[in-house]
Amino acid sequence: MEWLTDEQQAAWRPFIALLGRLPAALDAQLQRDAGITNFDYLVLSGLSEAPSRTLRMSELAAIANSSLSRLSHVVTRLEAKGWVRREPCPGDGRFINAVLTDEGWQKVLATAPGHVSAVRELLVDVLTKEEFEQLGAISARVLAAQGIKVAIPNAGG
Amino acid sequence: MEWLTDEQQAAWRPFIALLGRLPAALDAQLQRDAGITNFDYLVLSGLSEAPSRTLRMSELAAIANSSLSRLSHVVTRLEAKGWVRREPCPGDGRFINAVLTDEGWQKVLATAPGHVSAVRELLVDVLTKEEFEQLGAISARVLAAQGIKVAIPNAGG
DNA sequence: GGAACAAACTTGACGCTTCAAGTATAACAT
DNA sequence: ATGTTATACTTGAAGCGTCAAGTTTGTTCC
């Protein structure tokens, strides 16, 4: 085998540190201010942007970068809090629609500003416009290599 | 408040997807081939690179981007597997040294090649040299804004 | 149209992470 | 020298994620 070159390590180390720390920092803000996890937020905000605030479990799992199993557990918790409800899909009994309730919508509205601020403070505002775009492009490329395409709203895609 | 612009979202979405998926992919390889988590590996390899394969718990926590609590639990498990042992520090009774055992060293040797291959396949090889360096520089910058400095071996730092 | 297969989702158990609290040692103040 | 505060770490419980199985509903293929 061959470990990474010094140059590669100089890039790898900061990146893996970021991978470890940024999610923790984002989670900390959401937990403190809204009592939810980053993943909860991803699920709620994913639903909030969908037509009729409704998505099939499997679609929602793709948006939240999650296994169905994980999503199922989380939706059970979110349902218990009254933010989401499940509805069987009339056409095909295998599908389950997750629907954001009005209370869930209110939760998203209440939570978004603080979360957006955290994203800005931790990431967006410490980078130049070009750097942030590069970060996005690089991320998209890594995901594309795994066959994953990320949906971007308002991007004609 | 103000949500992100379309341009910013076009960068943010792929990035957060990467944040969700890459650790899972790395964990999957390590779990399958070595029965350990990414975090376990970070701890073991961190020790393997330290002088005398020994680090104080708090230093190791910094290297592994972890809380002391999390590290303490993990070291307990790694100790049970015979890969790490704890030693009180003679000079200052508050410090505890974590020491990589010979078995732990062997585990690192056995695990590293597969892990490195995964890192290459998932990340390094799908990017150009320039992109990978940019990714490292951007990561370092984001961390620096939090006051975090990442140690790079063989970099005169 | 009935049996085999597949797809979508759920469930339970186990392991890991986090949080709050606790212990033990050292440094500091008076 | 003694009480106070700070540092380094541990511990237990509660919550979350993962994995392997299980359930239910559709599809396919003679």
Give residue A91's pLDDT: 86
- Chain A hits for B41, CB-CB cut-off 8 Å, are none
Q: How many CA atoms lie within 13 A of A44 on its CB side?
A: 29
Is residue B93 pLDDT above 90, yes or no? Answer: no
- Compute how many other C-beta atoms are within 10 angstroms of the C-beta atom of residue B133: 15
Task: Return the HEC string of A51-86.
Answer: HHHEEEHHHHHHHCCCCHHHHHHHHHHHHHCCCEEE
Going by their DSSP bridges, the two strands B96-100 and B54-56 should be labelled as antiparallel
Q: In chain B, pLDDT over 90 holds for what percent of residues?
A: 89
Q: Which nucleotide is the nearest neighbour of A40, by CA and C1'?
A: D16
Query: Does residue B37 reach within 7 angstroms of strand C, measured from its CB?
Result: yes
Q: How confident is the model at residue B104 (pLDDT cuts 50, 70, 90)?
A: very high
Q: Which of A7, A113, A126 sits opposite B142 (nearest CB)?
A: A126
Q: In chain B, pLDDT over 70 holds for what percent of residues?
A: 97
Nearest one of A17, A10, A5, A18 to B63, comparing CA atoms: A17
Within 8 A by CB and 6+ apart from B109, the residues are none
Question: How high does pLDDT run on average in chain B?
Answer: 95
For an interface test with A, which of B130, B135, B149 has the most A Cβ atoms less than 10 Å from its Cβ?
Answer: B135
Positions of strand C less than 7 angstroms from a protein CB: 7-13, 16-21, 24-27
Is residue B141 pLDDT above 80, yes or no? Answer: yes
Angle at A23 between CA A146 and CA B136, to 5 degrees: 65
Q: Do A142 and B134 touch (CB under 8 A)?
A: no
Q: How confident is the model at residue B157 (pLDDT cuts 50, 70, 90)?
A: very low
Q: Residues, chain B, total?
A: 157
Is residue B1 pLDDT above 70, yes or no? Answer: no
Give residue B151's pLDDT: 87
pLDDT in tens, B19-77: 999 999 999 999 999 999 999 999 999 999 999 999 999 999 999 999 999 999 999 99
Give residue A153's pLDDT: 79
Within 8 A by CB and 6+ apart from A1, the residues are B112, B113, B116, B117
> What's the Å distance between residue A93 CA and nucleotide C8 C1'?
9
The whole-angstrom distance between B3's CA and the closest CA on chain A is 6
Query: Does residue B39 reach within 7 angstroms of strand C, measured from its CB?
Result: yes
What are the structure tokens assigned to A123, written together? 């990431």
Q: Rounded CA gap, A43 and A54, in Å?
A: 11
Q: Between A and B, how many residue pairs show a Cβ–Cβ distance under 8 A?
A: 171
Q: Write the CA distances from B98 to B48, B56, B87, integer angstroms.
A: 11, 6, 6
List chain A residues with pLDDT less than 50.
157
Q: Which nucleotide is the nearest neighbour of A27, by CA and C1'?
A: C18
Give residue B42's pLDDT: 98
For chain B, report the end-to-end CA distance as a whole number of angstroms.
Answer: 41
Give residue B156's pLDDT: 59
pLDDT in tens, A8-52: 999 999 999 999 999 999 999 999 999 999 999 999 999 999 999
Positions of strand D less than 7 angstroms from a protein CB: 7-13, 16-21, 24-27
What are the structure tokens assigned to A157, written together? 């895609």
- Does residue A133 or residue B92 have the better pLDDT? A133
- Chain A hits for B16, CB-CB cut-off 8 Å, are 42
Give residue A151's pLDDT: 87
The whole-angstrom distance between B21's CA and the closest CA on chain A is 6
Q: Is the entire prediction scored with pTM above 0.85? A: yes
**Pair B72, B57: CB distance under 8 Å:** yes
Give residue A156's pLDDT: 59
Taking the stretch 64-93 of protein chain B, residues with Cβ within 7 Å of any atom in nucleic acid chain D are 68-69, 71-73, 75-76, 86
